[in-house]
Amino acid sequence: MEIYLVRHTKVALSGDYCYGSSDVELADSREEDLAKVKQKLNGVQFDRSYTSPLTRCRLLSEVLVVNAVMENALIEMHLGEWELKKWADLDQENVKAWMNDFVNISPPGSESYMEYAVKPVLFFDELVRSSDRDDKVLLTSHSGAIRAIVCHVLNLPLANAFNFEIDYGSVSKIEVVDGWYKLKYLNY
């Protein structure tokens, strides 16, 4: 079984803004960005496809496959009261505390990364259990969900989730053989 994890392309918001599960638009370069991702997957025929229902993932999924299943477990983490606010405008003491222990500490009005990560990981595990050995599956999602799945596959603590990059429009591939996971490539 092969599972392709694809992160959505660049968004219209600058890095000055905090966003998670807010439904933000893709950047003006969307057509070019979407075409680049499609080229990375050129020739791969998927047996199943799932996407976060947020616009930035759904639009990419529509370019890659026909009729992907919308899956809420693939939505990005909600950042509570911080959603769509500038990082500089947030209480910096709270931001610092969260960044020092994002696994266990929640942004105000949200959940911790530990609580969030359960959803994409449970979905991934069920997907593996319910798939055939030769299936090729596409998951179009967000960096938070992809990081959680990669940590799970590599048996890494969630605290290591930001020790690797998940770029906009990147593809990562996991191979499953007889219940064993192998990360074939990350952030391509």
Report whether 149 contacts 124 (CB < 8 A). Answer: yes
Separation CA 164–CA 162 (nearest Å): 5
Residue with tokens 């009729």: 67
For residue 22, pLDDT beyond 90: yes
Domain count, the chain: 1
Of the pLDDT bands very low, low, confident and very high (cuts 50, 70, 90), residue 43 is confident
112-140 per-position pLDDT tens digit: 999 999 999 999 999 999 999 999 999 99
Separation CA 31–CA 38 (nearest Å): 11
70-97 per-position pLDDT tens digit: 999 999 999 999 999 999 999 999 999 9
Residue 95 in 3-state DSSP? helix
What percentage of the chain carries pLDDT values higher than 70?
A: 100
pLDDT at 179: 85
Tell me the residue range of the domain where 112 lies: 2-185
Residue with tokens 């996971």: 181
For residue 5, pLDDT beyond 90: yes
CATH number, position 181: 3.40.50.1240
47-59 per-position pLDDT tens digit: 999 999 999 999 9
Mean pLDDT of the chain: 96
- Alpha-carbon torsion, ordered 152, 157, 159, 165, to 10 deg: -40
